[in-house]
Structure 1
Amino acid sequence: MDFDMEANSPGEKTLKFHTTTSADSVAVEAEQIVRPDLPVVDAHFHVWNMTGFDYFAPEYLRDVSAGHKVEASIYVECDMGYSDNANAHYRPVGETEYVMRQLKLARGATHDFASGIVGSANLLLGEAVRPILESHLQAGKERFRGIRARIAWDSDPVAGYGKRAGFPSENIVTQAAFLEGTQWLQDLGLILETWGFHTQLRDLCRGAAHCPELNIVLNHLGGPLGVGRYASMRDEVFKEWSAGLRAIAEHPNVHIKLSGVGVTRLGFGLGVDGRNATSDDIVAASSRYVKICVETFGPERCIFGSNYPVDKVVGSYPILLNAYKKMLSDLSDRDQRAVFSDNARRIYRI
């Protein structure tokens, strides 16, 4: 089963499911857990209520307790729980409040659920974004850590999001207002996460230079596109993406998430036919990209994130985490602990 997540209005989403028949589906047997002793902080997960696909704290806690030592997690915005505030710019604060309510469903768990919360705010507001950020901080108490900016834009009608709500209609990362908004994140000691494409990496360097004390976290391997016109340009994209990573990695305040292998736009082909992948399937499809991220940023600036339940389309949580552990098995024990746990604890202050 594969799906595309569409935002219709703040707080409202639908899922477009593409399913195969049960006869076509291939069940994957449970795998032995790779390095069950390795501490893990999952730095990228969501909870949501969508038609046909509800995923709340109890479902997530079942996944993270299925064999791996996943000790804590970081929630990342996904347009859930927006408020009906008369000022639309404040509505995303409702998502932080929504996650705080989810904590009640996680009481008694040994896993530190949503130990950090990354919310949403329109950074193009410039100085006017400050009171919104302060409202997030108040709502999230000691857990609110920053903002994810969906900067993802491309003119290709398949690769780009077009006019879909929640995404820009142009490349906003070099605009003065956006840079002013990021300045307020820095001043308040918050984090900037970005979901963008490889074509924007060099432009994002400007923001990294503008706020050298701001921790910036690139989501989903820096977004190497693999659909639309990019589907037939895999080698060219790999070269451009690799060069973009090298350029932005020159800024020591930038980190990258090893996450999102199931994101359709990356074109890895995982989960698109309704078949569950094995960890070896995931390794074969994405290890080339994951390894370049680690080589470019170094293990000390790479952070694991499951991107669950989006990447549930690829396979079960244990299998997905097995794959990442296999891809990084050549690292020293110290470096593996950095990628899977220590870096997240440091960056998100948990």
Structure 2
Amino acid sequence: MSTTATEQKHAVPHIPVRPEWLAQRAEAALEPGLPIIDAHHHLWEFPDKRYRTRDLLDDLASGHNIRATVFVECKTHYDTDAPVELASAGEMRFALAEAREAKALGATADVGAAFVGNADLLRGDAVGPVLDHLIEASEGRLRSIRNIAVWHADPDVRPSAATPPARLLLDPAFRAGVAQLAPRKLAFDAWLIHTQLPELCGLAEAASDTPIVLNHIGGPLALGRYRGQRDAVFAAWRDDIRRVAQYPNVHVKLGGFGMPLFGFGFEKTALPPDSASVADAIRPYVETCIDAFGAARCMFESNFPVDKGSFGYGIAWNAFKRVSAGLPDADRAALFHDTAARFYRITG
């Protein structure tokens, strides 16, 4: 399958991956036996970038004990010959083929053990048959649906190339679509920014029977008007994260820290950052989420290859291990493996 012009326009403005730059920093894996489920990664092929199974396996060879991974939708390989509401089934078939290739190549990790797909939940009740079609196309690996909700009124604040309507999570039609998930044992992956966290509270209350996982800790912004306002943004984000955590059906993914919206600037240094530097930068955010949600509702994610513009795969997992050092063994097991296994129904 080739990537279409429609897919290209959805390409996110990520930090470019520079293999020569990344190669300047290598670390041995800390605690190499610790079981890990990578709760969020992509596989894609666009005109300007490619990250397929073989690329992922190269990253998995960093020495960490990656037992399984979760493929997350990224609008690649849509079926342009299908009705528009069913086009994303092409991405499920693509992810399934990639997972099979990983197995054929002898991967020790269960690549794509679970899929996060895309269906337009604004279709309301009518999205039900679409969800059934995606479950079939994924051969039962579909576990969650993601509709990117990232929106801000200021055009200078653009952390995502997605263009959803304002207040998507509050739309009655959207909530009717979300109501179709739980009967099919599907969850909802929420991707939004910190100014939208109150909207997530409303959705969590309205869809209390639906498991929800907040991607990338809810995107505390350092773009546009928020640049140079880290302390104020952190305080606002922290307060709303604590409110979100009051809803027991909501979980959170700890990652995405290599994206431009966080403003850490890892990619601007002559050498790639080491894991200690990354851990120091992300520690306040990770600790706030764990304190608010508890380890049983937190899961680490690589967000690769998006974060690969800022640091290597092994560096990311070493940073997560450093920032969680000192926690009880049961909490660390949850953060690295057990929460994702339970949320996405992954065995092994």
Q: Same fold (TM over 0.5)?
A: yes
Q: Closer, same or farther in 2 for the Cα pair 1:11/1:79, shift >3 Å?
A: farther
Q: Which of 6, 9, 19 is 1:9 aligned to?
A: 6
* Structure 1 gaps, min length 5: 1-6
One of 302, 308, 315 as aligned partner of 1:306: 302
In the alignment, is residue 65 of structure 1 matched against residue 65 of structure 2? no
Residues 32-82 of structure 1: per-residue CA shift (max 9 Å, x gap) = 311111100001011111335321111111211220000100000011110
Q: Which residue of 2 aligns with 1:145?
A: 143
Q: CA deviation at 1:158?
A: 2.5
CA distance in 1, matches of 2:19, 2:94: 35
Matched-pair contact (CA < 8 Å) for 1:15–1:50:
no
Distance in 2, matches of 1:50 and 1:81, equals 9
Aligned-partner Cα distance in 2 for 1:179–1:346: 24
Q: 2:283 — aligned with what?
A: 287
* Residue 297 of structure 1, aligned match among 280, 293, 300: 293
The Cα shift of 1:103 comes to 2.0
Kindly indicate whether residue 49 of structure 2 is the aligned counterpart of residue 46 of structure 1: no
Residue 212, structure 1, aligned to residue 208, structure 2: yes
Per the TM alignment, residue 176 of structure 1 is displaced from its structure 2 partner at its CA by 0.5
1:319-338 equivalences in 2 (<5 Å): 319-338=315-334
After TM superposition, give the deviation of residue 160 of structure 1 in Å.
2.9
Equivalent-residue separation in structure 1 for 2:232 and 2:48 (angstroms) = 38
Residue 255 of structure 2 corresponds to 259
Counterpart CA distance in 2 for 1:53 and 1:95 is 16
Q: Give the secondary-structure state (helix, strand or coil) at the position aligned to 1:239.
A: helix
Q: 2:83 aligns with which of 87, 96, 100?
A: 87
Could you tell me whether the CA contact under 8 Å between 1:20 and 1:273 is conserved in 2?
no
Residues 124 and 21 of structure 1: is their aligned pair in 2 closer, same or farther, counting only changes over 3 Å? closer
Q: Which residue identity does 1:178 align to in structure 2?
A: F
Shift of 1:167: 2.6
Separation in 2, partners of 1:310, 1:17: 6
Q: 1:100-149 deviations in whole A, cap 9, x for unaligned?
A: 11123112322101000001111111111111111110011121111012
Shift in alpha-carbon separation, 1:180–1:212, aligned structure 2, 3 A:
same
Specify the code of the residue in structure 2 equivalent to 1:109.
A
Q: Distance in 2 between matches of 1:8 and 1:275?
A: 35
> RMSD of aligned C-alpha atoms?
2.3
Task: Describe the shift of the 1:176–1:319 C-alpha distance in structure 2 as closer, same or farther (beyond 3 A).
Answer: same
Q: Structure 1's 340 and 51: CA in aligned 2 closer, same or farther, altered over 3 A?
A: same
Quote the offset at 1:14 in angstroms.
Answer: 5.1
Residues 182 and 209 of structure 2 are in contact (CA less than 8 Å); yes or no, is this contact kept in structure 1?
yes
Instruction: Provide the rounded CA distance (Å) in 2 between the counterparts of 1:275 and 1:90.
Output: 44
Contact 2:170-2:203 within 8 A present in 1 as well: yes
1:214-261 residue CA offsets vs partner (Å, 9 max, x unmatched): 110000011111111011322221111111111111100000000101
Do residues 348 (structure 1) and 344 (structure 2) align?
yes
**Cα distance between partner residues in 1 of 2:263 and 2:140:** 37
Alignment check: 8 A CA contact 1:276 1:313 kept = no
* Aligned AA (2:91): E
Displacement of 1:159 in angstroms is: 1.9
Shift of 1:203: 1.2
The counterpart of 1:248, out of the listed 244, 249, 253, is 244
Q: TM-score, normalised to structure 2's length? A: 0.92
Q: Distance in 2 between matches of 1:124 and 1:227?
A: 28
Deviation at 1:280, TM superposition (A): 1.5
Number of residues of Structure 1 aligned to a counterpart in Structure 2: 341
Q: Percent of counterpart pairs with the same letter?
A: 36
Give the secondary structure class of the aligned counterpart of 2:189.
strand
Counting strand residues as a fraction of each chain, which structure ranks higher? 1
1:279, 1:323 within 8 Å by CA — same for their partners in 2? yes
Question: Which residue, 129, 132, 137 being the options, matches 2:130?
Answer: 132
TM-score, normalised with respect to structure 1: 0.91
The answer to whether the Cα contact below 8 Å between 1:174 and 1:203 also exists between their aligned partners in 2 is yes
- Mapped to 1, the partners of 2:332 and 2:150 lie a distance apart of 29
Q: Is 1:183 paired with 2:211?
A: no
**Partner of 1:156: helix, strand, or coil?**
coil
Q: Residue 119 in 1 paired to residue 121 in 2?
A: no
Report if aligned partners of 1:116, 1:143 keep a CA contact under 8 Å in 2.
yes
Are residue 228 (structure 1) and residue 224 (structure 2) matched? Answer: yes
Q: Note if contact 2:299-2:336 (Cα within 8 Å) is conserved in structure 1.
A: yes
Q: How far apart, CA to CA, are the structure 1 residues paired with 2:17 and 2:288?
A: 33
Distance in 2 separating the partners of 1:177 and 1:323: 41
111-120 or 51-60, larger mean C-alpha shift = 51-60
Q: What is the letter of the counterpart of residue 276 of structure 1?
A: P
Inter-partner Cα distance in structure 1 for 2:269 and 2:73 = 27
| Residue ranges of structure 2 left out of the alignment (5+ in a row) | none
